[in-house]
Amino acid sequence: MTQVASRPADASGVFRLDGSLPVNRLGYGAMQLTGPGVWGPPKDPEEAVRVLRRAVELGVNFIDTADSYGPFVSEKLIRKALHPYPADLVIATKGGLSRPGPGDWRPLGRPEYLRQQTELSLTHLGVERIDLYQLHRIDPQVPLADQIGELRLMQQEGKIRHIGLSEVTVSQIREARKIADITSVQNLYNLANRQAEDVLDYAERENLGFIPWFPMATGQLARPGGPLDTLAKTYDASPSQLALAWLLHRSPVMLPIPGTSSVSHVEENTRAAQITLSDAEFQALGKAV
Ligand SMILES: NC(=O)c1ccc[n+]([C@@H]2O[C@H](COP(=O)([O-])OP(=O)(O)OC[C@H]3O[C@@H](n4cnc5c(N)ncnc54)[C@H](OP(=O)(O)O)[C@@H]3O)[C@@H](O)[C@H]2O)c1
């Protein structure tokens, strides 16, 4: 009991990536640890370091980042805060989006670029192998076989352990799985936006990890006065906790990665793992938002 209270993320339960690599289902997304437009350093780099360390203290052992967050600002902060890494920590990064400037994201999936970015992520994170490397976007200008093929090659070379996809359709996942083993999918999904329901159902059937990005609708579901504010009071929870508890209830393959730049919010969000919704409460929340 004491252990769960001090490590609330443990209460979210374990999911095994590819049936083998265990993570607590409630993780942390490290995109907020950058400047405006996900560009440059965060306003308070010391607080960013504290957020990462606190997340791990709270039992979070699954952290999502990307080369393009900063670029490289988020990955370098993770290394600064947490290296040498706890043995059970799984860092998932991504590549495949170029960053010409703040707020500007453009798919770039040429194999030599994916390889360059993977090499840079290995250096910036300070690891010999990346546990989960996600293709941030499929580049429509490059054959899928070249993009996934390069990741598979790097997997065979020992630079990548597992391969994931991001913002894809079910048919794209099926195509990618003809080329390499795919371990996870990361799509936009939250209480207020469930357009990826078919991808989530597919992930659940196939036991792929489903990582919902914008799990709190970029904070819209977490803010006081937001759509969950009144309901949260009846549950004796905060709006962000309700949004995350709903996700955790939705599927056993769900791995939410709430983002925040503040220690108090990472504490609040991680405690969502200790909230258990009944099926009726889950349905009611789904209808309310
Ligand atoms: N694959 C993709 O294409 C993709 C795209 C976008 C994001 N992602 C990943 O998904 C992760 C999560 O997305 P996100 O961080 O953009 O959105 P989010 O988790 O839905 O929401 C983050 C926002 O909510 C606020 N917030 C967090 N906790 C709060 C709380 N307890 N009370 C009030 N406000 C709170 C944060 O502000 P404060 O900093 O003030 O707490 C921040 O503005 C990212 O970190 C990234 O790893 C992936």
Ranges of the chain whose pLDDT falls below 50: 1-2
Query: How is residue 201 written in tokens?
Result: 């159902």
Alpha-carbon distance values, 17 to 14, 21, 22, 149 (Å): 10, 5, 6, 20
Dist. CA 28–CA 52, nearest whole Å: 8
Model pLDDT, residue 131:
98
Q: Which of 121, 214, 269 to mutate to test the pocket of ligand 1 (most atoms within 8 A of CB)?
A: 214
Please list, in sequence order, all residues whose beta carbon lies within 8 angstroms of the beta carbon of residue 108, skipping any fewer than 6 positions away.
96, 97, 98, 139
- Total structural domains within the chain: 1
Q: Kindly report the protein residue whose alpha carbon is nearest to atom 47 of ligand 1.
A: 29
How much is the pLDDT for 2? 44
Q: Return the biggest CA–CA distance within the chain.
A: 53
Can you tell me the distance from the alpha carbon of 9 to that of 207, in angstroms, rounded to the nearest whole number? 21
Nearest CA to ligand 1 atom 11: 29
CA dihedral sign of residues 205, 207, 208, 209:
positive
69 CA from centroid of ligand 1 (Å):
13
Residue-level pLDDT at 1: 41
Q: What distance in angstroms lies between residue 257's CA and the mean position of ligand 1's atoms?
A: 8
How many angstroms separate the CA atoms of 172 and 163, rounded? 14
Whole-number Å distance, alpha carbon 230 to ligand 1 midpoint, is 21
The answer to whether 69 and 39 are in contact (CB under 8 A) is no
- Pocket probe for ligand 1: among 26, 28, 32, the residue whose CB has the most ligand atoms within 8 Å is 32
State the pLDDT at residue 5.
77
Phi, psi of 92 (to 5 degrees): -105, 125
Q: Which residues line ligand 1 (CB under 6 A)?
A: 29-32, 64, 166-167, 186, 213-219, 222-223, 240, 257-262, 265, 268-269
Q: What's residue 230's pLDDT? A: 86
Which of 193, 163, 157, 195 is closest to 179 using CA atoms? 163
**In CATH, what number is assigned to the domain containing residue 121?**
3.20.20.100
pLDDT score recorded for residue 69: 98
* Ligand 1, atom 25: closest residue by C-alpha: 219
**Domain limits for position 37:** 2-288
Tokens read off for 57: 């203290």
Burial (CB count within 10 angstroms: exposed 0-12, middle 13-18, buried 19+), residue 101: exposed
